């Protein structure tokens, strides 16, 4: 997660730098006018992010907490899993500010499905977009708890929350590439009688490729 946070903040800093207006060099004729009279090129406007979009993502899901199990009780499945899925949404843009909604669903080992419906708010600079996101999450983690004389499948649908953020860069008018980190919080599964307390919080780090249908660049 440290690497994800470092990537996120590096992209935010890069976005801030890219948003600064670029001064054009003065010509020989302009040198005599003084600095205040030198022509200034206008700042490049933020690339358009508005409109609907659809894409795919790949990454990893990691168990965010340690389970509390008494002797002889175990949970099948790994603490991490490869996941992949699709996402789709809609953006609205006002100047450099981008607002949107997004829905997604992912699948992986020991994860029947992991999905969310989220709001997004971000800041665009040239072809970069940095954003925060949050909303409601749904999952079926498909875990089985085993112990002396029992085996229980924890396959009930889970409902919880998700928060996170990410950065994207436009590769062209219609395509963007990004990286995203999300934290999913779900209610724990526990039984004092059988001796287990299983946390269901999940951290997801994933790359995403998105196709946009919002029109031209400016």
Higher model confidence: residue 213 or residue 14?
Answer: 213
Reported as half-sphere exposure (CB side, CA atoms, 13 A), residue 102 has a value of 27
What is the tens place of the pLDDT at every residue in 145-179? 666 666 566 666 789 999 999 999 999 989 999 99
Q: Which domain holds residue 112?
A: 2-19+45-212
CA–centroid distance for 53 within its chain: 15
Question: Where would I find the H helices in the chain?
Answer: 2-18
Retrieve residue 10's tokens: 């590096």
pLDDT for res 111: 84
Closest CA to 71 of 207, 196, 190, 210: 196
Distance between first and last Cα of the chain: 35
- Mean pLDDT (the chain, rounded): 75
pLDDT for res 211: 96
| Dihedral (Cα; 204, 205, 210, 215), 10-degree rounding | 90
pLDDT for res 214: 73
Task: Answer whether residue 35 is part of any domain.
Answer: no
- Over residues 8-32, mean pLDDT: 41
Task: Answer whether residue 145 is part of any domain.
Answer: yes
Task: Answer whether residue 81 is part of any domain.
Answer: yes
The Cα–Cα gap between 158 and 185 comes to: 10
CB burial readout 93-103, b (16+ within 10 A) else e = beebebbbebe
Task: Answer whether residue 37 is part of any domain.
Answer: no
**Is the pLDDT at 21 greater than 70, yes or no?**
no
Task: Answer whether residue 92 is part of any domain.
Answer: yes
Q: How many domains does the chain have?
A: 1
Helix (H, G, I), strand (E, B) or coil at 13: helix
The Cα–Cα gap between 126 and 19 comes to: 7
Task: Answer whether residue 218 is part of any domain.
Answer: no
Higher model confidence: residue 215 or residue 144?
Answer: 144
Q: What percent of the chain has pLDDT over 90?
A: 46
Task: Answer whether residue 144 is part of any domain.
Answer: yes
The DSSP 8-state label assigned to residue 155 in this structure reads -
Phi, psi of 10 (to 5 degrees): -65, -40
Task: Answer whether residue 8 is part of any domain.
Answer: yes
CATH code for the domain in which residue 71 is found: 2.40.160.20
């Amino acid at each position: 997660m440290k690497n994800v946070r470092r990537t996120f903040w590096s992209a935010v800093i890069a976005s801030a730098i890219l948003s600064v207006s670029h001064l054009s060099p003065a010509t020989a004729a302009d040198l005599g006018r003084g600095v205040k009279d030198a022509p200034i090129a206008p700042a490049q406007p933020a690339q358009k992010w508005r409109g609907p979009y659809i894409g795919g993502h790949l990454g990893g899901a990691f168990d965010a907490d340690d389970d509390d199990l008494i002797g002889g009780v175990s949970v099948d499945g790994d603490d991490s899993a490869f996941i992949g899925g699709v996402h789709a949404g809609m953006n609205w843009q006002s100047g450099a500010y981008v607002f949107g909604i997004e829905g997604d669903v992912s699948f992986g080992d020991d994860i029947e499905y992991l999905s969310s419906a989220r709001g997004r708010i971000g800041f665009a600079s040239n072809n970069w977009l940095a954003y925060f996101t949050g909303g409601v999450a749904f999952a079926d983690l498909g875990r089985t708890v085993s112990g002396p004389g029992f085996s229980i499948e924890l396959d009930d649908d889970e409902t919880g929350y998700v928060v996170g953020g990410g950065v994207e860069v436009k590769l062209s008018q219609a395509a963007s590439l990004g990286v995203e980190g999300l934290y999913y919080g779900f209610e724990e599964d526990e039984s004092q009688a059988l001796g287990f307390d299983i946390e269901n919080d999940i951290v997801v780090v994933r790359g995403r490729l998105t196709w946009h249908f919002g029109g031209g660049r400016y």
